[in-house]
Amino acid sequence: MTALIKTSRDGAVALIRLNRPKQLNALNSALAAEIVAKVADLDRDTSVGAIVITGSERAFAAGADISEMVKKTAEEMIEADFFAEWDRFTACRTPKIAAVNGYALGGGCELMMMCDFAIAGQGARFGQPEVKIGVIAGMGGTQRMTHLIGRARTMDMHLTGRMMDASEALASGLVARVVPDSDVVSTAMDAAHRIASYSRAAVRQARDAVMRAEELSLTEGLNYERRLFHRLFGTTDQQEGMSAFLEKRPARFG
């Protein structure tokens, strides 16, 4: 049986590659379970500083697997709390970068948005076309997209079901960078290695502060950030980082 994901390590960086190429990496329950379980394992591994998630040249992931859902009833979906397993993915505190080539549609676009940021190829295409099949996004698409690109653009995407190209995705804030298609994974890996080279505590606190900014008022967010800043002065990494800066040498974080 072919593995649904392929995982490799390059030092402190883990690469997860979705591996359902014939289905354009459509996210069925088995693939979702493997992604969530692997990310949870990597999050517990203190030798992992960052995770890159990618698909194939044709598709990052072209949605959820409709064939798996078509016959389900509302009662079955409610009883199973369908898609709730992705909460474990978003609870991962290790930075996650989506490296996107080709289509990132429906659940694929939602998976990308669950990552901390995305690097996309020039040929990438994004969309939430669920309205075309009589449903709506169920993995956070309406919520995360609104936080990322605003209400008007999100309404446009979800109500028309249209696709957004890479240049529009970059301009709107849906992705962080756009690079040539052939450079997507290497660029994401370079970014991941840079993240992994820094203080683990500082990276996690920075990530936490940014995530909380979506939920708190500005005053609450500023107070939260300040408390995290203060706490980092209890770490050896803070002492090493500041000492290295003053001594004009590379920092050696633990």
Shared-domain flag, residues 123 and 226: no
Shared-domain flag, residues 227 and 170: no
Residue 44, φ and ψ in degrees, nearest 5:
-80, -15
Is residue 62 included in any domain, yes or no? yes
Structural domain span for residue 86: 5-196
Shared-domain flag, residues 236 and 164: no
Q: Which of 50, 110, 188, 206 is catalytic?
A: 110
Shared-domain flag, residues 65 and 189: yes
Shared-domain flag, residues 110 and 236: no
Q: Which of 107, 121, 127, 241 is catalytic?
A: 107
Shared-domain flag, residues 157 and 137: yes
68 is catalytic: no
Beta bridge partners of 164: 126
The domain boundary residue, chosen from 176, 196, 216: 196
Is residue 158 included in any domain, yes or no? yes
63 is catalytic: no
108 is catalytic: no
**For position 1, what pLDDT does the model report?**
60
Is residue 254 included in any domain, yes or no? no
130 is catalytic: yes
The domain boundary residue, chosen from 171, 196, 221: 196
Shared-domain flag, residues 228 and 124: no
- Cα–Cα distances (Å) from 205 to 149, 192, 216, 234, in that order, read 24, 16, 16, 13
SS (HEC) of the chain: CCCCEEEEEECCEEEEEECCHHHCCCECHHHHHHHHHHHHHHHHCCCCCEEEEECCCCEEECCECHHHHCCCCHHHHHHHCCCCCHHHHHCCCCCEEEEECEEEECHHHHHHHHCCEEEEECCCEEECHHHHHCCCCCCCHHHHHHHHHCHHHHHHHHHHCCEEEHHHHHHHCCCCEEECHHHHHHHHHHHHHHHHCCCHHHHHHHHHHHHHHCCCCHHHHHHHHHHHHHHHHHCHHHHHHHHHHHCCCCCCCC
Q: Which of 130, 138, 188, 206 is catalytic?
A: 130
Q: Which of 26, 32, 59, 64 is catalytic?
A: 64
The tokens for 92 are: 């991962």
Shared-domain flag, residues 38 and 152: yes
Shared-domain flag, residues 102 and 167: yes
Shared-domain flag, residues 169 and 228: no
**Which stretches of the chain drop beneath a pLDDT of 70?**
1
Is residue 253 included in any domain, yes or no? no
Shared-domain flag, residues 17 and 29: yes
**For position 80, what pLDDT does the model report?**
92
> For the domain that residue 205 is a member of, what is the CATH number?
1.10.12.10
pLDDT in tens, 142-153: 999 999 999 999
Q: What is the CA radius of gyration of the chain?
A: 19
Q: How many Cα atoms within 13 Å fall on the side-chain side of residue 29?
A: 9
Kind of pairing between the strands at 163-165 and 125-127: antiparallel
Tally of structural domains, the chain = 2
**For position 39, what pLDDT does the model report?**
98
Shared-domain flag, residues 113 and 222: no
